[in-house]
Amino acid sequence: MDIAERKTIRTIAVASGKGGVGKTNITANLAIGLSRMNNRVLVFDADLGLSNIDVILNLANKYNINHLFNGEKQLKDLIVEGPEGILVLPASSGIQELTELDEFQRLRLIEEFESYDNGIDYLLIDTSSGISSNVAFFCMAAQEIVIVTSAEPTAMTDAYALMKVLFTKYQEKNFKVLVNSVKNEREGTDVFRRLSTAAERFLSISLDYIGFIPLDSSVPNAVRQQRAFLDMYPDCEASKSILKITDRINSAENNNVKGTLQFFLGGLLKAKC
């Protein structure tokens, strides 16, 4: 296919610094929301050492990314269908070596994505916690980065630290912020304001607020049943919020108009660290 004919794909990395702030749940539910808007969505579970999107969505995957790295399988063999037609590329749990991909594994991943015959509109990347080189690698490869934080000072500090590393090491200036598990809309705006004041003052970058999700017992309840909250509790507050955010993301102009999968691959190469 000619480059000009290739479909535009938006690649979005979901990252946070701190663990347990809701990245995986947000990624899974964003994917379902985007899928309902007639998008073909592929979720890449890039929490390579401690995967759990397959657990959250109760996916029966026979293979995981480790089978790709040891040459047994190709990308297309790994991808499984999740709820509402979303596609998921599962990681693998408990494989310590995968927490830091080596040069060979990164190249293999790039090669596999290159030959993957897709039709996808969105590639969502659920990254691991911490500020490892894997996290930086996937954030820099994606066109857009969604930083998830809660109102806890530790989550905010870690979100800021991650943005600082991506800015100082890779000159990344564009971050979308999503505030999770808040009491109300006001707390979400307040957390965003505090983060963006710090980012403006110390890094001279302005952040983009994409919304909040309230603390909602439907989220852990859905996790316990291994279902997405959007699917299981469509009218809960968390679902209403995620749909607003999905809508905002889907209707926003993609700044990177040349967003093909090849663009993502270019990013992966650039991000070799």
Ligand X SMILES: Nc1ncnc2c1ncn2[C@@H]1O[C@H](COP(=O)(O)OP(=O)(O)O)[C@@H](O)[C@H]1O
| DSSP per position, the chain | --GGGSPP-EEEEEE-SSTTSSHHHHHHHHHHHHHHTT--EEEEEE--SS--HHHHTT---S--HHHHHTTS--HHHH-EE-GGG-EEE---TT-GGGGS--HHHHHHHHHHHHH-----SEEEEEEPSS--HHHHHHHHHSSEEEEEE-SSHHHHHHHHHHHHHHHHHH-----EEEEEEESSHHHHHHHHHHHHHHIIIII----EEEEEEE--THHHHHHHTTS-HHHH-TTSHHHHHHHHHHHHHHHSPPS-TT--HHHHHHHHHHT--
**Residue 110 contacts ligand X per CB under 6 A:** no
CB of 203 to Mg ion, least distance (A): 26
**Residue 25 contacts ligand X per CB under 6 A:** yes
Binding mask of the shown chain, residues 114 to 153, with x at each position contacting ligand X by CB under 6 A? ---------------x------------------------
Q: Which of 215, 232, 265, 271 binds ligand X (CB under 6 A)?
A: 215
Residue placing its CB nearer to Mg ion in the complex, 146 or 261: 146
**Residue 134 contacts Mg ion per CB under 5 A:** no
Residue placing its CB nearer to ligand X in the complex, 160 or 263: 160
Q: Which of 238, 242, 243, 245 binds ligand X (CB under 6 A)?
A: 238
| 162 and 189 Cβ atoms separated by less than 8 Å | no
207 touches, from Mg ion, ligand X, none (C-beta below 5 to 8 Å by class): none
Among residue numbers 30 through 69, which ones bind Mg ion (CB under 5 A)? Answer: none
**Residue 24 contacts Mg ion per CB under 5 A:** yes
Residue placing its CB nearer to Mg ion in the complex, 24 or 29: 24
CB of 14 to Mg ion, least distance (A): 9
Binding mask of the shown chain, residues 244 to 263, with x at each position contacting Mg ion by CB under 5 A? --------------------
Q: What are phi and psi of 91, to 5 degrees?
A: -95, -150
**Residue 219 contacts ligand X per CB under 6 A:** yes
CB of 213 to ligand X, least distance (A): 5
Give the residues lining the site for ligand X (CB under 6 A).
16, 19-25, 129, 180-181, 213, 215-216, 219-220, 223, 238
